[in-house]
């Protein structure tokens, strides 16, 4: 997929949420778009498949009132460049984000992941790239689709990823009136106009669609689930009862298999809970951070991170 088919910062990015916090960093052969704001303990935000930093438009500024917030566009998503095929897989993305944090000279105290971003967060934590406060997973996509769908969906994504014409057709269709609204509602969430505009800009760009399909085609959640017993850090699993994309039972099953994991249920929200009610999610994330961070002040936390 040509670079010109990806979202362009001087076009789709002109009115990007929290644009003042954006910067571009080249690492590992990939030009990353990342937003950094605030001061204090470092919280790394990882969006889900098909999203980008705009997904944190309401949550990131709230967390930045007391923390340093780092939010990248994942490889092949938003305004971050397309990596090689390995860089779109779960382990490849975890390594890529960890390397980006090293390039930024920041170590996360806490990783917050939404949907597929939660899987990356757990893999990073398992490989030593996380922090003392572990992970908060928001409607985490932590297990494969059940039954035959678990085989068909990755195969279909792989076939589409290899077909530029199909990708272009999908992007063209997404630009038609009402399509993005219906797609968002299919997740069980109702989001604001800024969120809809962000998804419309992304899904209407075939380069972003290609990155999403490439991610889905190489995603191995069976291997992640097999490693749940290795996870030894704090973990809060936030699950929405109204989520139509990732059933709550996925979080329940992860809670039952990961020692010490805590499950928090949200009643009225959907898959994009952090976009619907950023205030509530910010409170839950900060509660987790305060509970699992043993040091008493942001200055102490920064000193500890510098000496790690």
- Largest separation between any pair of C-alpha atoms in the chain: 55
- The confidence score (pLDDT) of residue 159 equals 43
pLDDT at 170: 56
Better-predicted residue by pLDDT, 297 or 65: 65
Residue 178: CB atoms within 10 Å: 7
Q: How many CA atoms lie within 13 A of 12 on its CB side?
A: 24
pLDDT of res. 166: 52
The number of CA neighbours under 13 Å toward the Cβ of 154 is 16
pLDDT tens figures, 96-130 = 999 999 999 999 999 999 999 999 999 999 999 99
Question: Which residues make Cβ contacts (< 8 Å) with residue 197, sequence separation at least 6?
Answer: 15
pLDDT at residue number 177: 61
Separation of first and last alpha carbons in the chain:
40
Which structure tokens are listed for 87? Answer: 């860089």
SS3 225: helix
Residue 307 has pLDDT above 90, yes or no: no
Supply the pLDDT for residue 183: 82
- Predicted local confidence at residue 155, as pLDDT: 42
Mean pLDDT for 273-279 is 97
Domain ranges of the chain: 3-307
- pLDDT the model gives residue 207: 83
pLDDT in tens, 44-95: 999 999 899 999 999 999 999 999 999 999 999 999 999 998 999 999 999 9
What CA–CA distance (Å, rounded) separates 201 from 183?
Answer: 14
Of 198, 182, 180, 185, residue with least CA distance to 57: 198
- With bands split at pLDDT 50, 70 and 90, how would you rate the model's confidence at 143? confident
Provide the mean pLDDT of the chain.
Answer: 86
- Mean pLDDT for 182-209 is 88
Q: Residue 52, SS3?
A: coil
The answer to whether domain 3-307 has CATH 3.40.50.1820 is yes
Q: What share of the chain in percent tops pLDDT 70?
A: 83
- Cα torsion angle, 156, 161, 166, 171, sign: positive
Q: Tell how many helices (H) and how many strands (E) occur in the chain.
A: 13, 8
């Amino acid at each position: 997929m040509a670079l010109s088919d990806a979202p362009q910062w001087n076009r789709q990015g002109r009115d990007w949420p929290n644009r003042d916090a954006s910067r571009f960093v080249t690492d590992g052969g990939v030009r990353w778009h990342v937003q950094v704001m605030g001061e204090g303990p470092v919280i790394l935000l990882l969006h889900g498949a098909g999203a980008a930093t705009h997904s944190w438009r309401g949550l990131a500024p709230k967390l930045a009132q007391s923390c340093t917030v780092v939010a990248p566009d994942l490889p092949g998503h938003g305004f971050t460049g397309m990596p090689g095929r390995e860089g779109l897989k779960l382990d490849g993305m975890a390594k890529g984000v960890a390397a980006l944090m090293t390039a930024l000279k920041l170590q996360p105290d806490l990783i917050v992941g939404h949907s597929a971003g939660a899987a990356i967060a757990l893999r990073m934590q398992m490989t030593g790239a996380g922090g003392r406060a572990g992970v908060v997973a928001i409607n985490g996509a932590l297990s494969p689709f059940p039954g035959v769908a678990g085989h068909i969906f990755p195969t279909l994504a792989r076939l589409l990823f290899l077909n530029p014409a199909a990708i272009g057709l999908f992007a063209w269709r997404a630009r038609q009136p009402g399509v993005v609204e219906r797609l968002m509602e299919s997740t069980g969430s109702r989001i604001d106009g800024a969120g809809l505009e962000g998804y419309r800009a992304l899904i209407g760009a075939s380069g972003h669609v290609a990155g999403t399909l490439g991610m889905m085609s190489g995603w191995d959640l069976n291997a992640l689930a097999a490693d749940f017993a290795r996870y030894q850090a704090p973990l809060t699993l936030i699950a929405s009862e109204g989520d139509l994309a990732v059933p709550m039972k996925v979080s329940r099953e992860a809670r039952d298999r990961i020692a010490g994991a805590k499950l928090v249920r949200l009643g009225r929200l959907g898959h994009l809970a952090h976009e619907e009610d950023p205030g509530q999610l910010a409170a839950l994330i900060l509660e987790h951070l305060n509970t699992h961070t043993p040091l008493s002040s942001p200055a102490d936390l920064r000193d500890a991170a510098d000496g790690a």
